[in-house]
Structure 1
Amino acid sequence: MSYFILGRVAIGGVPLPLCSFRIPAGFPSPAADHIEQQISLDEVLNIRAPHVYLASISGDSMQGAGIFDGDLAVVDRSIEPVHGHIVVALLNNEPVCKRLCVRGREVILLSENPKYPPRYVLEGDDLAIWGVITSSVRSHV
């Protein structure tokens, strides 16, 4: 799985309406009288922060975690990566999106698709973690 960094989001996002109820699948459309407030997705996803960037994901190795080919990942560089986080990393100059597994001094990058084996980070490997994925956005069209 690889990704493409899209860059920082421009300041001044557009506020969108937020409905005051959850919409069950199949509900035709929310009525205007149920709109509770205006929200901005860049504020909800915290993508205005200077330590946050967006990356486009490619491949199917993280589909078990709900991250699919073409998804847009919100990556936060300020979060200290720990065991269990999904991270964007550079392993031997290859960008990857994997689940971080730390067992003592052993570091493993795990796919969330059984088709792909775990990647053990060995002594001679060069690993740099570029951030923790906090959210992902998927287009359905």
Structure 2
Amino acid sequence: MPRGGKRSGAGRPKGTGKYSEPTKAIRVPESMVERILEFARSGGFKLPLYGGKVAAGCPAPTDDYIEGMLDLSEQLIRDPASTFFVRVTGYSMINAGIHPDDILIVDRSIEARHGKIIIAAIDGELTVKRLHKKAGEVRLMPENDDFEPIEIAPEETLHIWGTVTNVIHTV
């Protein structure tokens, strides 16, 4: 008689468990079990997205139609394996809408090109600035006139950690 494997008629009938649908056994790191269970219990992290738009000028009539459910991670994170979050200190990027205590979403897989806002380490110290590459020169530009651009000298070590994709800003 063979051992192991699926046996006809064994187990709970499909769809009769606490999730009211078929389930699948998976292996996950023990450190993530509680977070995964909480996610499953809550039904995910999707919130309602209303179909109407809100006017930033004159008031407009309201629309109570729910367009669908919105998962912020699907909207804000393109590549989860290469994305991280970092909290901001200081005022050098205030004119770009980046304020102290904001959370930046940073993607390491996006190429750091001229004009992009990046997280960089200069000789081991982190900063958030707009990347300026021109004629072989590299500068990190603030978005506040009270701050000076950072010129990257040939003897300095510049390491770009990633490109800022979104800002989470509390109002």
Q: Which residue of 1 aligns with 2:164?
A: 133
Q: Which residue of 2 aligns with 1:124?
A: 155
Extract unaligned runs of 5+ from structure 1: 1-9
User: What TM-score, normalized to structure 2?
Assistant: 0.69
- Counterpart Cα distance in 2 of 1:48 and 1:86: 18
- Counterpart Cα distance in 1 of 2:50 and 2:90: 33
RMSD: 2.2
Higher gyration radius (CA): 2
Q: Confirm or deny that 1:98 pairs with 2:122.
A: no
Q: Which residue of 2 aligns with 1:4?
A: none
Q: How many residues align?
A: 130
Asked whether the equivalents of residues 47 and 71 of structure 2 are also in contact (C-alpha less than 8 Å), the reply is yes
Q: Which structure's relative contact order is higher, taking Cα pairs within 8 Å and 6+ residues apart?
A: 1
Q: Confirm or deny that 1:73 pairs with 2:76.
A: no
Residues 7-26 of structure 1: pairs in structure 2 closer than 5 A: 12=39, 14-25=45-56
- Report which of the two has the higher share of strand: 1
Q: Which residue of 2 aligns with 1:46?
A: 77
Asked whether the equivalents of residues 102 and 167 of structure 2 are also in contact (C-alpha less than 8 Å), the reply is yes
1:55-89 residue CA offsets vs partner (Å, 9 max, x unmatched): 11111100111111111111000011010000000
Q: Which residue of 2 aligns with 1:59?
A: 90
Asked whether the equivalents of residues 47 and 74 of structure 1 are also in contact (C-alpha less than 8 Å), the reply is no
Runs of 4+ in 1 over 3 A off after TM superposition: 10-13
User: What TM-score, normalized to structure 1?
Assistant: 0.83
Provide the identity percentage: 34
